[in-house]
Amino acid sequence: MSVMCPVTATHPIIGGTGAIYGAIAIALSLAFIVLAAPVAMRRSEED
């Protein structure tokens, strides 16, 4: 269990499962932004 986040973020081999969960969290947040962007654009056009 490593407490240092930058190490797990930059070195997945050292981070292990923590880096995997971090990558999944980043991927999910990026996917949410990509999916939410068109909805925000439509709402701004309606106003």
Q: What is the pLDDT of residues 3-35, one digit of tens each?
A: 555 554 555 555 677 778 888 889 999 999 999
Instruction: Kindly state whether residue 34 falls inside one of the protein's structural domains.
Output: yes
Does 1 have pLDDT greater than 50? no
What SS3 state is found at 17? helix
Q: What's the rounded Cα separation, in Å, for the pair 6 and 34? A: 25
Length of the chain in terms of residues written: 47
> Could you list the residue range(s) of the whole structural domain that residue 23 is in?
19-46
Instruction: Kindly state whether residue 23 falls inside one of the protein's structural domains.
Output: yes
What's the pTM? 0.48
Count of structural domains within the chain: 1
